[in-house]
Structure 1
Amino acid sequence: MQDFKILFQKYLDETISPEEFAQLEAFIRNNYPAQEAEVLWGEVLANRVYAADAEHDLDAIFKDITKRRPVRLGWIKYAAAAAIIVLVVTGGLYRFSQPSPEAKTLAVQDVAPGGNKAMLTLADGSVVTLDSTGNQVIQQGGIAVKQAGGQLIYDGGSNEGVISFNTLTTPKGGQFQVRLSDGTRVWMNAASTLRYPTTFSGRERKVEVTGEVYFEVVKDAARPFEVQAGNMKVEVLGTHFNINAYDGLSTTLLEGAVKVSGLQNGKHVILQPGQQAQLSDDIKVVGNPDVDKIMAWKNGLFNFEGASFKEVMQELERWYDIEVVYAGGVPDIRFGGELSRNKSLAGLIEALRDAEVHFEIKGRQLIVRK
């Protein structure tokens, strides 16, 4: 047992030699049944047992691991930093070798990842198509709107007392940024909309959203900032927060404070940083949500930690503008880890593939076969 502790500590410290690594693996496999050893060894490889655990018996470590039984896919280190994939399917079995030759990805054609693209609907109803290559100035009365690549910038000029609204829409496979007339910055995920005045006047700043949008609101004590998403209203003075209104309604606060209200039930809560409000028939406050997972899209990543197969496919549908077709039902698999959103579809499903699941790309369809 003492040898195990020493070897395990060396692994955590990344000072373990190839010979010692082999001894560590052999110790685990020789002291536990095959399937349990797979689970434990997968935990060691994924580095999910931390240094403090090395002071406890292996039995205690194993019991802690089997209670959690996470289901993971991710890129990890193997001895001298060779990258391999860890995939755990429902039932707790780790797959930590290179993908099986039976696992096939049939890519009739590839699909490029999403990028900076959106449609701007002006106050007169005309539509301007935006992409990452555009650099232009759009005039609306006394308001100048500048496009610089994947961002719109409103100059905050005068609109002569007339309140006019613009709507920015990102399609599936699109994302965009906008700096509103008060300096507030907004990041929009795919399949989202933002409706806002070209300039804020009076004592309020109000916008409406659908989809998923992240705000960094400029502080202005005299003019609270209000966001409406479906039946949810968020009121702030100056703060950073994320709103997800794809399937449910949630607000996650990163900085500052916000008041979240249900427009139908009349209830409200005050969020502190690191809290999330979820709105359905009631308002539920969740402490310590996984902020890395929530903000992954803004940082150019997919975070699949704890996600079901269907949830992962829904993200791919939005980002790659594809339709996922299930031939034989939805696989009962959960994933973990992060992958870049800059990968092509074929490159991404290569990382997701499993011997029990086959992918085929046909046009803008991703066919999944069990």
Structure 2
Amino acid sequence: MQAPRQIAAVIRKYLRNELTEAEEATLQQWLDADPARKSYLNSVIEGDGLLDDLRLYHTLWGKDHGDARMVRIHQRIHQGLSQQSVPSKIYRPLKWLPYAAAVLIAVSATAYFFLDDPVVEQQIAVVNAEAIVPGGNRATLTFANGQTIDLSAEQGGIVVGDGVTYLDGTEILDDKQAVRKESLASGVSYLLSLATPKGGIYQVTLPDGTNVWLNAASTLKYPSQFDDKERVVELAGEAYFEVKPTPMSQPFKVVTPGQTVQVLGTHFNISAYPDDPETKTTLVAGKVKVSLAGSRQKSASDSRLRPADYVLRPGEQAINRGAQIQIVDVNTDQYTAWRSGRFSFNGKPFDQIMKEMGRWYNFTVRYEGDIPPDRFLGDAYRTDNLGTVLQFLETSNIRYRVEQASADSYLLIISNGKEATKP
């Protein structure tokens, strides 16, 4: 079987009257393998389907560029195409077959025949940002034996106790999963993992009554039962914690790469995404102790040396950059706005805003030129579609376009001060 890319190249050369004898034999063999291939190649040479291809071309290039090209190519096709058929043997097409029409026909034929082939030339599809909807309640729960459950999007969270239920008391595990139900209720502690994808958010009530809200693209690992000495969970990504107070003999600890946060009963937010250079611990209420590598650290506000274990006060944030920690005073709402369904832009670098939005709408960013230096004020609602949220860019002459990256993800192309052009 010929590779799809090889056949696509042969078809293009056939339509340009450039086939060698060997390529002619290859194309003939490919056509003889399936009568539908001859029929389809005949239909596109006669002109059927070309208008659909032109509409695709118009979409890929955008309205301004596409309109003019569509008119010109449409005229050339209707001036040049003749009523010719594909016989049982290959003959070269007329030399005046327009080049642009040949390219479009090759694209159409390739897409038609190769949908089920392992290698496909993917076309770039420009997407209307207004059509990209926000994330929602999406998460998976993984048990110690590796089995995973897709949690209901109609529910907002789960409760871990003698078993695992949704917040409204509905059972997560059905009768077919009785073994796992018995294990959770057996008194033996098992490791559980709650994970949200990009565009997902979910809540979990831990065995001690602590509530945790996971932001998008985050994972929380925790035991089905805590022991009497300490309560330890592991976080990758971002989460907001409301820790249930317990005696000092049973502290609550959140472990992230590079640090451990010890809690006695408090509300706080930790952002520890793997693709961020910093881990930020923001204290809303209560008291936490941040333990970092190194014996002594320097405060951001003065030159005094701080111990490696630093106790945060409400309104303070510990920024861990690996070898150093910085303690700053912050407006906590700016770092916890996601919990109330908002993006907070206030004073954040542009690339940080794009990262936060990308995790929610499942897009990655490519910059054409420098990253815009602009800083913004205000909020946006996470319940709005992407196009509505991106309206803030209009105030700074920042242009963008959105392309389809995969079935459920996107590429946002940012251009500072000019229209985002096609690559």
TM-score by length of structure 1 reads 0.64
Change (3 A) 1:122 1:133: same
User: Partner letter of residue 242 of structure 1?
Assistant: N
Counterparts of 1:212 and 1:282 in 2: how far apart (Å)?
Answer: 20
Contact 1:260 1:270 in 2 (8 A): yes
Equivalences for 1:7-22 in 2 at 5 Å? none
The aligned residue for residue 218 of structure 1 is 244
Counterparts of 1:355 and 1:147 in 2: how far apart (Å)?
Answer: 44
The aligned residue for residue 386 of structure 2 is 345
5+ residue gaps, structure 1: 1-104
Is the aligned partner of 1:278 residue 2:322?
A: no
Change (3 A) 1:275 1:355: closer
Change (3 A) 1:124 1:111: same
**Structure with the higher helix share, 1 or 2:** 2
Counterparts of 2:220 and 2:234 in 1: how far apart (Å)?
Answer: 6
The aligned residue for residue 256 of structure 1 is 286
Counterparts of 2:392 and 2:292 in 1: how far apart (Å)?
Answer: 40
Q: Over residues 149-178 of structure 1, what are the superposed CA-to-partner deviations in whole Å (9 max), with x where a residue is unaligned?
A: 8x99999x9754522110111111111100
Structure 1 stretches of 4+ with a deviation exceeding 6 A read 135-138, 151-155
The aligned residue for residue 69 of structure 1 is none
The aligned residue for residue 367 of structure 1 is 413
Contact 2:137 2:155 in 1 (8 A): no
Tell me the CA shift for residue 129 of structure 1.
Answer: 0.9
User: Partner letter of residue 270 of structure 2?
Assistant: I
Relative contact order: is structure 1 or structure 2 higher (C-alpha 8 Å, sep ≥ 6)? 1
Contact 1:120 1:166 in 2 (8 A): yes
The aligned residue for residue 269 of structure 1 is 310
Of residues 334, 342, 346, the one that matches 2:375 is 334
Fraction of identical pairs, as percent: 39
Of residues 349, 361, 372, the one that matches 1:308 is 349
- For 1:296, what is the secondary structure of its paired residue? helix
Counterparts of 1:341 and 1:327 in 2: how far apart (Å)?
Answer: 26
The aligned residue for residue 56 of structure 2 is none
Counterparts of 1:161 and 1:177 in 2: how far apart (Å)?
Answer: 23
- For 1:317, what is the secondary structure of its paired residue? helix
Q: Over residues 257-289 of structure 1, what are the superposed CA-to-partner deviations in whole Å (9 max), with x where a residue is unaligned?
A: 1111014658211112121112231332213x1
Q: Over residues 23-82 of structure 1, what are the superposed CA-to-partner deviations in whole Å (9 max), with x where a residue is unaligned?
A: xxxxxxxxxxxxxxxxxxxxxxxxxxxxxxxxxxxxxxxxxxxxxxxxxxxxxxxxxxxx
Counterparts of 1:234 and 1:212 in 2: how far apart (Å)?
Answer: 14
Contact 2:158 2:203 in 1 (8 A): no
Of residues 152, 155, 166, the one that matches 1:147 is 166
Contact 2:129 2:387 in 1 (8 A): no
Moved more, 345-354 or 333-342: 345-354
Counterparts of 1:116 and 1:334 in 2: how far apart (Å)?
Answer: 30
Contact 2:184 2:224 in 1 (8 A): no
Is the aligned partner of 1:107 residue 2:107?
A: no
- For 2:365, what is the secondary structure of its paired residue? strand
Is the aligned partner of 1:167 residue 2:193?
A: yes
Of residues 177, 191, 213, the one that matches 2:217 is 191
Larger Rg computed on CA atoms: 2
Q: Over residues 184-215 of structure 1, what are the superposed CA-to-partner deviations in whole Å (9 max), with x where a residue is unaligned?
A: 00011111110000111222111010111111
Change (3 A) 1:343 1:303: same
The aligned residue for residue 40 of structure 2 is none
Contact 2:262 2:290 in 1 (8 A): yes
TM-score by length of structure 2 reads 0.57
How many residue pairs align between the two structures? 262
